[in-house]
């Protein structure tokens, strides 16, 4: 199997930066600016500054040159913020274009209900309930459910998975997606999606961010930023009155500059880019979120319900050890087991051969050619081989082998059998010519590294619960080995739903994944429900995220993406607000040092002149947006850790960094401004 997930688009590819630069100007449209209160305010203030400068130009005032520069940088601040959003959207657009290319343009064969008669209809006009026939080599026109036939389908356009998959009517593999191609055979599909609401349409809209709705947390942050903007408005508007009391006047253009440097333009400018980039990271992981809300909720997950099979274990029992009977060597047992399994194509059989070869290095010699193999039947519950020399080797369920041998089980072996069963494994007895040689220990093998993954989740404060149909004994053994926090044995869809409800009643947020129709209620009930793309339409409808790779371990990645999104937002907000301290130290002395020369003590940076101090602060304020675009798009580095550890680290980097960085930045810009005699 080869995977080629949507080709990764370089973070700042020229193909994106060019159109984004143009888009930045288009976004000056007030209707588009109004979506972002902070940047809208900045634009209004920039317009005001433009008028001030125009007046200054007409009256020939002395502050024309500096005013011109400040106004220019104010507009640049707005453009930079627009640019950040455009870059993030551009990455999504590039992905959407590749999806759009797969959309079918040919007509669909709509069945008329009389035999196999059909007429052609435009794929975009198909209504739910229509029946369409899709034959080999054709593209499936829209989302639907297979009601007749079986076909292998190439879904690589959507999933990037090149190996074709089987879709057939009935069961859990009946869903087909518009835009995928039938490779062989034919199917009849009942349309389930309304025009324009197919999976592909949703995916395109999602990555393009066209109908992007602000997520709840983003709205809350927007409100706070608007609040802070208002506070600074009061500060700046009243300042000339207090300055007047002190016998000094502050030029209007300086006030405008002070206001824009104080309001949280940095986070305001990057906020939507962070959100779009978060969705984009999810798409890159081949997961489609039906809403941004689900991504945020993923970061909040307290409990992760994971299916045992396929997620925690490989899904097949494998030979783990040979337990010989008294007086039998392990090699003897292993050889017999190996011989009996040579022709056994089941995963268990193969694993016995693998283990024997690994332990004792048996060679696939003549035995295979000379032996005649006895296949497993439900009646004998044994399989085996009759060798050329007449030796009769059998392996199978312990009681079947015992009765075949015609004697009661050996007491030592009996103990071994009980131990294996007790540990959640499956004992398999091996006999040679009626003599029981020993037991093969088969067990569910836990995926390597999964234990580490769970430990990581535990450090993040997330509890993992294993869901399995096994009996409690087996479940407990595997749970202990995998290191999950809890398990639900003998799980049924009802018990799963109950478990979710119970956790939620205690205030926890639950995530799970599933694919079958009977998973649908639980998927809908869970706060984050990840449906496998291979699953039924019902499951896909119930979940709020869809994993195109149908990989249940993806749940863990989704949680990480959600957390990273929130962390990026918080870190850049903290950085933005911490920046203000340095800006005061630059601008306040510049404004008032004439009235009170002693206030020069505030000028800790030793800036060139009051004019250059103000100009440097506003230039820094604009440039920092651009400097942070890569962080906004890539997301703040996130390594799983406890909340306290994350907080300490991020506070140090973005809190303390946000306090200190502008002192250095403004000073450096001031040196350049001085050098170029700009102020």
Partner 1 sequence: MIADLTQIVLTLALLVVLAMPLGLYMAKVYTGEITYLSFAERALLGPAGVTPKAEQHWTTYTLSLLAFTAAGFAVLFLILRFQHLLPLNPQGFDGLPAHLAFNTAISFVTNTNWQSYGGETTMSLLSQMVGLTTQNFVSAASGMAVAAAVARGLASRQARTLGNFWRDLVRSILYVLLPLAIVLALALVLLGVPQTLDASVSANTLEGAEQTIALGPVASQIAIKQLGTNGGGFFNVNSAHPFENPTAISNLFTLISILLIPVAFCFTYGRMVGDARQGRALFAAMGVMLVVAVAGLYAAERIGNPLHAGLIDPASGNMEGKEVRFGIVGSVLWAAFTTAASNGSVNAMHDSLTPLGGLVAMLQMQLGEVVFGGVGVGLTGMLLFVILTVFLAGLMVGRTPEYLGKKIEAREVKLAALTLMIMPIGVLVLAALAIAAGTAQTSVQDAGPHGLSELLYAYSSATGNNGSAFAGFNAATPWHDTFLGIAMLFARFGYIVPILAIAGSLAAKKTTPPSAGTFPTYGPLFVTLLVATIVIVGALTFLPVLALGPIAEQVSILAGKSF
Binding-site sequence positions for ATP:
344, 348, 376-383, 395
Q: How far is the CB of 238 from partner 1 (least distance, A)?
A: 4
Nearest to 492 by CA among 457, 467, 509: 467
Question: Among 28, 321, 397, 599, which residue sits at the site for partner 1 (rule: CB under 8 A)?
Answer: 599
**C-alpha of 367 from chain center:** 51
Q: What are phi and psi of 485, to 5 degrees?
A: -80, -25
Q: With the C-alpha atoms ordered 561, 567, 573, 575, is the resulting torsion angle positive or negative?
A: negative
Q: What are phi and psi of 636, to 5 degrees?
A: -65, 140
Q: How far is the CB of 304 from partner 1 (least distance, A)?
A: 12
Question: Among 306, 319, 462, 545, which residue sits at the site for partner 1 (rule: CB under 8 A)?
Answer: 462
Question: Among 62, 227, 327, 630, which residue sits at the site for partner 1 (rule: CB under 8 A)?
Answer: 227
Distance CA 626, CA 81 (A): 8
Say whether residue 300 binds partner 1 (CB under 8 A): yes
Say whether residue 35 binds partner 1 (CB under 8 A): no
Closest to partner 1 by CB, 238 or 370: 238
Q: What is the DSSP string of 604-668?
A: TT--S-HHHHHHHHHHHHHHHHHHHHHHHHH--------HHHHHHHHIIIIIIHHHHHHHHHHHH
Closest to partner 1 by CB, 22 or 230: 230
Q: How far is the CB of 459 from partner 1 (least distance, A)?
A: 6
Find the distance separating the first CA and the last CA of the chain, reported in whole Å.
63
Q: How far is CA 389 from CA 112, 364, 372, 386, 393, in A?
A: 66, 17, 11, 8, 11
Distance CA 297, CA 544 (A): 10
Q: How far is CA 200 from CA 143, 176, 290, 353, in A?
A: 9, 12, 12, 45
Closest to partner 1 by CB, 454 or 654: 654
Q: Which helix (H) or strand (E) holds 303?
A: strand 303-307
Exposure of 583 in the CB half-sphere (CA atoms within 13 A):
27
Q: How far is the CB of 582 from partner 1 (least distance, A)?
A: 12
Question: Among 230, 415, 455, 664, which residue sits at the site for partner 1 (rule: CB under 8 A)?
Answer: 230
Q: How far is the CB of 223 from partner 1 (least distance, A)?
A: 5
Q: Which stretch binds partner 1 (CB under 8 A): 22-30, 195-203, 445-453, 574-582?
A: 574-582
Question: Among 416, 531, 578, 622, which residue sits at the site for partner 1 (rule: CB under 8 A)?
Answer: 578
Binding-site residues from annotation: 344, 348, 376-383, 395, 515, 519
Binding-site residues from annotation for Mg(2+): 515, 519
Binding to partner 1 (CB under 8 A) within 484-543 occurs at 504, 506-509
Residue holding tokens 């009942």?
Answer: 190
Closest to partner 1 by CB, 265 or 431: 265
Say whether residue 459 binds partner 1 (CB under 8 A): yes
Say whether residue 598 binds partner 1 (CB under 8 A): yes
Say whether residue 239 binds partner 1 (CB under 8 A): yes
Distance CA 356, CA 587 (A): 78
Contact residues for 231 (Cβ-Cβ < 8 A; gap 6+): none
Q: How far is the CB of 141 from partner 1 (least distance, A)?
A: 40
Interface size with partner 1, residues (CB under 8 A): 76
Distance CA 266, CA 450 (A): 40
Distance CA 281, CA 295 (A): 11
Question: Among 254, 454, 654, 663, which residue sits at the site for partner 1 (rule: CB under 8 A)?
Answer: 654
Binding to partner 1 (CB under 8 A) within 246-275 occurs at 246, 262
Give SS3 for 273: helix
Strands in 426-517 per DSSP E: 426-432, 435-446, 463-467, 486-488, 510-514
Q: Which candidate in 130, 154, 307, 551 is catalytic? A: 307
Is 307 tagged catalytic? yes
Q: How far is the CB of 234 from partner 1 (least distance, A)?
A: 4
Say whether residue 235 binds partner 1 (CB under 8 A): yes
Closest to partner 1 by CB, 431 or 576: 576
Distance CA 553, CA 450 (A): 9
Give one word for 36, left, alpha or beta, with left for phi > 0 and alpha for psi -120 to 50: beta
Say whether residue 23 binds partner 1 (CB under 8 A): no
Closest to partner 1 by CB, 450 or 462: 462
Q: How far is the CB of 50 from partner 1 (least distance, A)?
A: 25
Question: Among 596, 630, 660, 668, which residue sits at the site for partner 1 (rule: CB under 8 A)?
Answer: 596
Distance CA 371, CA 390 (A): 9
Question: Among 241, 369, 411, 676, which residue sits at the site for partner 1 (rule: CB under 8 A)?
Answer: 241
Closest to partner 1 by CB, 397 or 651: 651
Say whether residue 562 binds partner 1 (CB under 8 A): yes
The pattern of x and - marking residues 348 through 387 that bind partner 1 according to CB under 8 A reads ----------------------------------------
CB 159 within 8 A of CB 123: no
Q: With the C-alpha atoms ordered 473, 475, 480, 485, is the resulting torsion angle positive or negative?
A: negative
CB 260 within 8 A of CB 582: no
Q: How far is the CB of 584 from partner 1 (least distance, A)?
A: 6
Binding to partner 1 (CB under 8 A) within 176-195 occurs at none
Closest to partner 1 by CB, 370 or 642: 642
Closest to partner 1 by CB, 426 or 568: 568
Say whether residue 158 binds partner 1 (CB under 8 A): no
Say whether residue 563 binds partner 1 (CB under 8 A): yes
Say whether residue 601 binds partner 1 (CB under 8 A): yes
Binding to partner 1 (CB under 8 A) within 617-646 occurs at 638, 642-644, 646
Q: How far is the CB of 659 from partner 1 (least distance, A)?
A: 9
Exposure of 8 in the CB half-sphere (CA atoms within 13 A):
9
Catalytic residues: 307
């Amino acid at each position: 199997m080869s995977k080629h997930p949507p080709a990764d688009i370089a973070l700042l590819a020229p193909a994106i930066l060019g159109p984004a630069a143009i888009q930045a100007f288009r976004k000056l449209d007030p209707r588009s600016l109004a979506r972002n209160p902070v940047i809208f305010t900045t634009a209004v203030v920039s317009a005001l500054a433009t008028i001030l400068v125009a007046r200054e130009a007409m009256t020939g005032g002395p502050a024309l040159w500096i005013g011109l520069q400040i106004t220019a940088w104010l507009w640049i601040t707005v453009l930079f913020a627009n640019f950040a959003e455009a870059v993030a959207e551009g990455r999504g657009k590039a992905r959407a274009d590749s999806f759009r290319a797969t959309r079918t343009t040919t007509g669909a064969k709509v069945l008329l209900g009389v035999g196999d008669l059909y007429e052609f209809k435009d794929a975009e006009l198909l209504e739910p309930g229509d029946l369409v026939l899709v034959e080999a080599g054709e593209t499936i026109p829209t989302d639907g459910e297979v009601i007749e036939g079986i076909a292998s389908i190439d879904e690589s356009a959507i999933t990037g998975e090149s190996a074709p998959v089987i879709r057939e009517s009935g069961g859990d593999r009946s869903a087909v997606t518009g835009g995928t191609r039938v490779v062989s055979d034919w199917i009849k599909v009942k349309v389930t999606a309304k025009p324009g609401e197919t999976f592909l349409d949703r995916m395109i809209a999602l990555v393009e961010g066209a109908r992007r709705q602000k997520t709840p947390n983003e709205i809350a942050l927007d409100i706070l930023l608007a609040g802070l903007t208002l506070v600074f408005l009061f500060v700046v508007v009243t300042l000339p009155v207090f300055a007047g009391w002190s016998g000094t006047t502050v030029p209007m253009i300086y006030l405008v500059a002070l206001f824009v440097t104080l309001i949280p333009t940095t986070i305001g400018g990057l906020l939507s880019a962070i959100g779009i980039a978060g969705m984009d990271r999810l798409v890159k992981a081949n997961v489609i979120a039906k809403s941004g809300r689900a991504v945020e909720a993923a970061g909040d997950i307290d409990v992760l319900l994971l299916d045992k099979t396929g997620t925690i274990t490989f899904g097949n029992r494998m030979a783990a050890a040979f337990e010989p009977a008294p007086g039998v060597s392990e090699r003897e047992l292993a050889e017999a087991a190996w011989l009996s399994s040579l022709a056994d194509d089941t995963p268990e059989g193969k694993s016995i051969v693998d283990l024997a070869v690994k332990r004792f290095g048996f060679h696939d010699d003549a035995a295979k050619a000379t032996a005649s193999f006895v296949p497993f039947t439900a009646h004998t519950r044994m399989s085996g081989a009759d060798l050329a020399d007449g030796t009769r080797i059998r392996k199978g369920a312990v009681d079947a082998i015992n009765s075949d041998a015609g004697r009661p089980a050996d007491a030592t072996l009996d103990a071994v059998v009980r131990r294996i069963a007790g540990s959640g494994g499956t004992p398999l007895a091996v006999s040679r010519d009626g003599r029981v040689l020993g037991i093969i220990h088969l067990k569910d093998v836990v995926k390597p590294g999964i234990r580490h993954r769970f430990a990581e989740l535990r450090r993040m404060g997330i509890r993992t619960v294993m869901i399995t149909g096994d009996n409690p004994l087996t479940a407990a053994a595997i749970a202990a080995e995998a290191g999950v926090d809890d398990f639900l044995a003998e799980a049924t869809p009802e018990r799963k739903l109950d478990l979710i409800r119970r956790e939620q009643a205690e205030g926890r947020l639950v995530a799970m994944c599933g694919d079958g129709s009977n998973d649908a209620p639980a998927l809908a009930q869970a706060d984050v429900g990840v449906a496998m793309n291979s699953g039924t339409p019902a499951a896909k409808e119930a979940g709020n995220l869809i994993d195109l790779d149908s990989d249940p371990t993806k749940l863990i990645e989704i949680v990480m993406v959600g957390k990273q999104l929130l962390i990026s937002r918080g870190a850049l907000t903290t950085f933005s607000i911490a920046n203000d301290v340095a800006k005061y130290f630059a601008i306040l002395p510049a404004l008032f040092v004439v009235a009170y020369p002693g206030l020069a003590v505030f000028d800790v940076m030793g800036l060139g002149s009051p004019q250059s101090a103000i100009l440097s602060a506003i230039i820094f304020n604009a440039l920092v947006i651009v400097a942070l675009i890569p962080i906004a798009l890539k997301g703040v580095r996130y390594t799983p850790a406890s909340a306290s550890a994350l907080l300490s680290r991020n506070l140090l980097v973005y809190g303390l960094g946000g306090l200190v960085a502008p002192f250095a930045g403004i000073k450096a810009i001031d040196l350049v401004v001085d050098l170029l005699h700009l102020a």
